[in-house]
Amino acid sequence: MSFRPEAIGPFPQSYALTQAGDVRLVPVPGHTAGQLAVIVEEDGLSIFIAGDSSYSEELMLRGAVDGVAPDEQGARLTLERIRAYAAVVRTVYLPSHDPESAARLAERRLVQTASERATA
- 102 and 90 in contact (C-beta within 8 Å)? no
How many separate domains does the chain show?
Answer: 1
CA 103 centroid distance within chain: 17
Listed as ranges, residues in the chain with pLDDT below 70 are 1-4, 113-120
40 CB-side CA count, 13 A = 10
Q: Is residue 41 part of a domain?
A: yes
According to the model, what pLDDT value does residue 68 have?
80
According to the model, what pLDDT value does residue 10 have?
97
The three-class DSSP label of residue 106 is: helix
Q: Which domain holds residue 108?
A: 15-119
pTM, 2 dp:
0.91
- Give the CA diameter of the chain: 44
Q: Is residue 70 part of a domain?
A: yes
CA 44 centroid distance within chain: 16
